Structure 1
Amino acid sequence: MLSQYLAKYVDQQQSLGFKFRVQQILLRGYVSFAEKHGDRHIRSARVLAWAARAPSPEQRRNRLLTVRRFALAMHADNPRHQVPAADALGHAVVKRRPPYIYSADEIARLLRAAAALRPVGSIRPTMYVTLFGLLTATGMRIAEALALRIDDVTADGLVVRQTKFQKSRLLPLHATARLALDRYLVTRRSLTTTDRALFVSVAGQSLPYNTVRRIFLQLLDSTNLRGACAGRDPRIHDLRHTFAVRSLEQCRHDRAAIARHIVALSTYLGHAHVTDTYWYLQATPTLMGQIAEAGEALLIGGAA
């Protein structure tokens, strides 16, 4: 019985556009556990017993909340399904790793190190310079960049289709970014391959994330950036944070302009809600100086 409820729920979620892969695996584990105990409907006590089998507090809470969403959907049709309390295993502690904001010099060093990759004369150095350069210039997620196809390069910019929230978007490119991409495409077209991925290896195959991350760590080594983020390594994802912060630094310093900029930035980054964009903003000397200037102007009666 529970298996049938789950199949219906999974179909519903996937029809709404969600991949629902990890959640489906977790829910199958719960349903298997519950059915072994003879449950025909969701029971709060059983959910907690199953969730408690996870090895960490974070995983236990994730199990609970995943089944709870399933229970809420089922309870709407049949009140015999119980809905466990969201805080039955305590409250979550949000731990946000502070992003690393790269300086212009550090980004230039990373790109120079990428250009020096071997084999010399192969597509590899050009490809990595272009990949990391585009991440810096557009704030794309690395998964989005690796999912790009040749046909996603248009006269108006890059069409990003494989997004986190299943929403395609167009990324207009700065003239310098477009020039670098066009140069890479010349090299890319000379490679004999049937793979339509934009970024490919020397063998003409699309790149897995683990390979890109391994190369990125090599670049950190060669540029002495290992451990630069409070003793930890800067991440590829921090290029996205850097793009968001640097773009805000260049915004005109008045409330209306900043409000418009944040909305545009949120759209460009592909966020589902503008509040998600605030997580990407980090205090820098430039931004703090701008805030101080605005505060001083407000204090003396000027327009902030």
Structure 2
Amino acid sequence: MIRSVTMLSRAETYLAYRRSLGFKLKTSGRQIISFARYADDKGHEGTLSSDIALRWAKANATIADPFTWAKRLEVLRPFANFLAAEYGETTFPATNPFGRTKRRLAPHIFTIEEITAIIAEAHHIRRVQAAGTLMMPALVGLLAATGLRISEALSLLLRDLDLEAAQILVREAKYGRQRLVALHPTSVAALENFLDRRNAMFPSSPTDPVFLSELSGKMLTYMNAWHAWFRITQRLGIRPRGGHPFVRIHDLRHSFICRRLILWQQSGAEIDAAMMMLSTYVGHVNLRDTYWYIESVPELMAIAGNRFEDAATVGGDLDD
């Protein structure tokens, strides 16, 4: 009988199936389990329905606003589709009644001086930090120089660094993809110096993580890095210039992308071709994610506007 099957068991079956296909589903998996437990606790019977999904989306949301509710509801859509294929009576809203699910705030774009100050301060962070005076300067420098995601950097193994070829193999990229990231000679030199010091203190087999906790010797976690980052940026008093209430580690990636685009636009490079290269380099799945910067970052919008004004001064039809 369908009614004897709990929503939690359905959710576990769904997640096991998706993960067998290679999907990690860390955050969305937790939310789907949360929904399933909520449905069971409320005495919901049968398969998924629009009513219980809408009620869960608003219940216990971290922020009580339509944007948050919309995102929570959308997490359930693939699960609902899966159940619909199994149980014909499954219902789910065809469109999201809470509105848009994507809202990107402008990032903080670090100046070179700010990045230099952060790395310098990281050399003096208290040694009680897991991300201490050895790991944190190298981690910040790598993120700033390559635009890697913090998750990609923390997942690197020693075998992924090919300094002779001046490149890194990113195995744990977003959506399970892999890519090669070229390194500037200065980055190679900095990594060589870091690895000499690191390997003298910690295990250095090819399968060991590049970044380790200086307290436990285990793989450095995001929370380890975040705690050190927060202390450093608070001590420096860096005020956020974007739409977020504080400067984030991920803003190093945004800053790398923006600096590269600014240099290309200032030099009059063919921006569409450059965008393709940059999108591949930083691991964007969709080219629109790279073009977003031109529309949303003031520094890039100003340069784009100046180029348009220069072109308009020359004359000619706009549709030429």
- What letter is aligned with 2:224? T
Quote how far apart the aligned CAs of 1:268 are: 1.3
CA RMSD of aligned residues (A): 3.1
Tell whether the 8 Å contact from 1:201 to 1:207 is kept in structure 2 after alignment: yes
Distance verdict in 2 for CA 1:127–1:8, change over 3 Å: closer
- What letter is aligned with 2:261? L
Tell whether the 8 Å contact from 2:134 to 2:198 is kept in structure 1 after alignment: no
Counterpart mapping for 1:25-36 below 5 A? 25-35=30-40
Tell whether the 8 Å contact from 2:156 to 2:209 is kept in structure 1 after alignment: yes
- What letter is aligned with 1:125? T
* 3-state SS of 1:82 partner: coil
Distance verdict in 2 for CA 1:111–1:50, change over 3 Å: closer
Partner of 2:82: 73
Partner of 2:60: 54
Tell whether the 8 Å contact from 1:251 to 1:258 is kept in structure 2 after alignment: yes
Partner of 1:201: 213
Tell whether the 8 Å contact from 1:10 to 1:24 is kept in structure 2 after alignment: yes
- What letter is aligned with 2:248? R
Instruction: Considering Cα pairs closer than 8 Å and 6+ residues apart, tell me whether 1 or 2 has the greater RCO.
Output: 2
**Number of residue pairs the alignment of both structures matches:** 300
Tell whether the 8 Å contact from 2:262 to 2:303 is kept in structure 1 after alignment: no
Quote how far apart the aligned CAs of 1:118 are: 5.2
Find out whether 1:64 has 2:73 as its counterpart: yes
The CA distance in 2 between the partners of 1:116 and 1:54, in whole Å, is 41
The CA distance in 1 between the partners of 2:203 and 2:191, in whole Å, is 19
Distance verdict in 2 for CA 1:69–1:231, change over 3 Å: closer
The CA distance in 2 between the partners of 1:127 and 1:30, in whole Å, is 39
- What letter is aligned with 2:29? Q
Partner of 1:297: 311
Unaligned runs of at least 5 residues, structure 1: none
Unaligned runs of at least 5 residues, structure 2: none
Distance verdict in 2 for CA 1:111–1:76, change over 3 Å: same
Partner of 1:12: 17
* 3-state SS of 1:165 partner: helix
Tell whether the 8 Å contact from 1:216 to 1:236 is kept in structure 2 after alignment: yes
What is the TM-score of this pair, normalised by structure 1?
A: 0.84
Distance verdict in 2 for CA 1:41–1:255, change over 3 Å: farther
* 3-state SS of 2:119 partner: helix
Tell whether the 8 Å contact from 2:160 to 2:170 is kept in structure 1 after alignment: yes
Distance verdict in 2 for CA 1:226–1:72, change over 3 Å: same
Tell whether the 8 Å contact from 1:114 to 1:128 is kept in structure 2 after alignment: yes
Partner of 2:225: 212
- What letter is aligned with 2:156? L
Candidates 134, 141, 163, aligned match of 2:149: 141
